[in-house]
Each structure stands twice: as C-alpha cells, then as structure tokens.
Amino acid sequence: MASAPKPLTGTKVFVMLVAFFGVVIGVNATMAKLAIATLPGTDVDSPYAAGLTYDREISAAQDQSARNWQVNAHIERRSDGGATLQVEARDAGGLPMSGLKFGGRLERPTDKRADLSVELTEAGIGIYRGNAASIAPGQWDLVIEGEARGQRVFLSRNRVILN
C-alpha cells in the first residue's frame, strides 16, 4: 500500500525559505569577513598623514636627483632559498661613498604581511651587503633607503622577479 504524499503547507514553505536565506546570508557574511581580514584594501595606514608628507617627499626626490649619485643594487637568489643583496654607491664624480647607512626591504606587491627587511652593512668602500633568508619566488618590490646623519638621502623602488 502506497501512502499518499504529504501536502505542501504554508509552514513547510516558510521553513524552507528561512533555511535558504539563512544559508545565503551566512555564506555572504563569512566571505565578507574573510575578504576584509585578508586584504583590507589600504596601501598606507593613514592616507591623511601620507597626504601631509607628500610635499616633503617631492622635495626629497628633487634633492636626491640633484646629488646625481650612482647607486646600483644587485640581488642574487641563493640555492638555499635566501637572497644576497648588494648595493654599490658612488657620488656624482664616480667615487665610492663610505659611511652611509643603507637598508633594504623586499615588499610583496599583493600582501604587506610577506614584506622582509634586509639589513645592509658596509662590506667595502661604497659597497653594502645583506642577506635575507627564505624568500618565496615571484614578484617583489626592492626598496632601498640610504641615510646620512639620521636623515634619508636616497630612496629607490624597483620591481624584481626572483625565481
């Protein structure tokens, strides 16, 4: 004996609608929370403060250009997954510059959490070297900053690809 199918009542339809929209809203809320947590969408912590320093950055870039320094950087990937960064600094006359403090950063264009600092020490007259351990392959922004007497006198940003 076959039993008759149960009729579709208003209560069943209501429960199905609530369950459907509950699942959709739950998934949307979870995805929005994960998206905001993984990439907040900001390039700087405070855009207002960055705007205030904009004129100083332009002036610093003009001063750097007027110095006409020749600063060459070379990054070489090692077999152990790390990398060696070497910076060679020469003044406008081509003479090596000593006594500067250089620092390097490898910044991931897509994820600031993967950024790595590279401390450079003077290995010779005008030659600064540093090592970074376990760098993932791919695109990086190599940022080099030079300081003299506590003031930044050089800034360079270049895209590099490490295999």
Q: Which of 14-28, 93-107, 117-131 has the highest mean pLDDT?
A: 14-28
Task: Encode pLDDT of 42-101 as tens digits.
Answer: 677 788 888 888 888 999 999 999 999 999 999 998 888 889 999 999 999 999 999 899
**Distance between alpha carbon 32 and the CA centroid of its chain, in Å?**
23
What's the chain's average pLDDT?
A: 91
What pLDDT is attached to residue 70? 94
Per residue in 117-128, pLDDT (tens digit) is 999 999 999 999
CB 88 within 8 A of CB 95: no
126 within 8 A of 80, measured Cβ to Cβ: no
Beta strands 70-77 and 116-119 are unpaired
